């Protein structure tokens, strides 16, 4: 019985200490906020078209050419975005490659090929969307056919990703 009283007294003492500790606690709250931005939409425009090229003669399409590749981007007005590209190193026809050399790029907010130059092959080129949330991107490149380049129709794909 004496042991049972000790256990009871000890249990009551622990409960009293727990109750005292509970009174020493405090808490606070913070507000949680978020601003949801307009989603980014990337739209492919004109293809990058080299037209007829000849063996051993490099051909260049500049960003100001009507044959330049184009993209348009829509998103949150005045937001800074990062553009990245997946660029082919070759155009292909069957198992035959046509090498692509230098890449060039230009972006602006007025759908004109004169704006801010960048190199699409560099990682994470940045741009600023217009106040209404648009930019236009122009892409050019140079193909370098070998002197014995096989005749054929060569193709590849340029992909552009844009993130806030």
Q: How far apart are CA 39 and CA 41, in angstroms?
A: 6
State how many domains the chain has.
Answer: 1
- Prediction pTM value: 0.80
Domain containing 104 equals 41-163
- Does residue 45 lie in a domain region? yes
Residues 6 or more apart in contact with residue 95 via CB below 8 angstroms: none
**Residuewise pLDDT in 10s, the chain (164 residues):** 455 555 454 555 555 555 545 568 899 999 999 999 999 999 999 999 999 999 999 999 999 999 999 999 999 999 999 999 999 999 999 999 999 989 999 999 999 988 999 999 887 899 999 999 999 999 999 999 999 999 999 999 999 999 99
Q: How buried is residue 11: exposed, middle or buried, by Cβ count under 10 Å (0-12/13-18/19+)? A: exposed
Q: Given this model, what pLDDT does residue 92 score?
A: 98
CATH number of the domain within which 108 lies: 2.60.40
Q: How far apart are CA 140 and CA 120, in angstroms?
A: 9
């Amino acid at each position: 019985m004496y042991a049972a009283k000790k256990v009871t007294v000890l249990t009551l003492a622990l409960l009293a200490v727990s109750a005292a500790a509970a009174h020493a606690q405090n808490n606070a709250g913070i507000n949680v906020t978020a601003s949801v931005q307009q989603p980014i939409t990337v739209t492919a425009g004109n293809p990058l078209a080299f037209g007829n090229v000849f063996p051993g003669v490099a051909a260049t399409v500049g960003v100001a050419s009507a044959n330049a590749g184009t993209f348009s981007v829509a998103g949150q007005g005045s937001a800074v975005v990062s553009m990245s590209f997946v660029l082919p190193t070759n155009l292909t026809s069957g198992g035959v490659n046509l090498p692509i050399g230098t890449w060039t790029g230009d972006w602006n907010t007025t759908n004109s090929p004169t704006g801010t130059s960048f190199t699409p092959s560099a990682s994470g080129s940045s741009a600023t969307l217009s106040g209404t949330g648009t930019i236009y991107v122009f892409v050019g490149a140079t193909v370098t056919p070998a002197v014995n380049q096989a005749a054929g129709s060569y193709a590849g794909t340029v992909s552009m990703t844009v993130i806030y």
